[in-house]
Amino acid sequence: MGNIQVALSDAAKADALRALLARSTPVPVVCVDTPDYDGASVVVLDGERFGESAGSLPHPERVVLITRNDAGHLSAAWDAGVSSVLSDQDPLNTVVLAVLAACLRSGAAWPKSAGGRNAQGRPEP
């Protein structure tokens, strides 16, 4: 698996989140305009970026969505299969927790070993 990709329309917020994540995980964190879903362990999107790619999310379980707390946006996230949805009013520390949880689900949080298994004894992807 690859990196954590932060694709937010607010560049300052994206950079602040990148800095927090970089201190919280050994997984590389990059800010991107267009995420590479196949190369990412986790992709963080806001409502605007989600709207650009909602119909084509190949790995919705790896997406952490930050959006407005209204029925339309939440319904679109549900329909796309996104399970990690946060309000755009949530603090960045809450977003970091959601991203770390998504890393755990994807297996990206475990260090790789030479035997083809991670530190938890699971086969590496």
Q: What are the pLDDT digits (tens) for 44-84? A: 999 999 988 767 788 999 999 999 999 999 999 999 999 99
Torsion of CA 114, 44, 83, 92, to 10 degrees: 110
The predicted model scores a pTM of: 0.84
Does the domain at 3-106 match CATH 1.10.260.40? Answer given as no
Between 36 and 119, whose confidence is greater?
36
Parallel, antiparallel, or unpaired for β 3-7 and 29-31?
Answer: parallel
Whole-Å CA distances, 5 to 27, 72, 79: 10, 25, 22
**Average pLDDT in the chain:** 87
pLDDT tens digits, residue range 35-53? 999 899 999 999 999 988 7
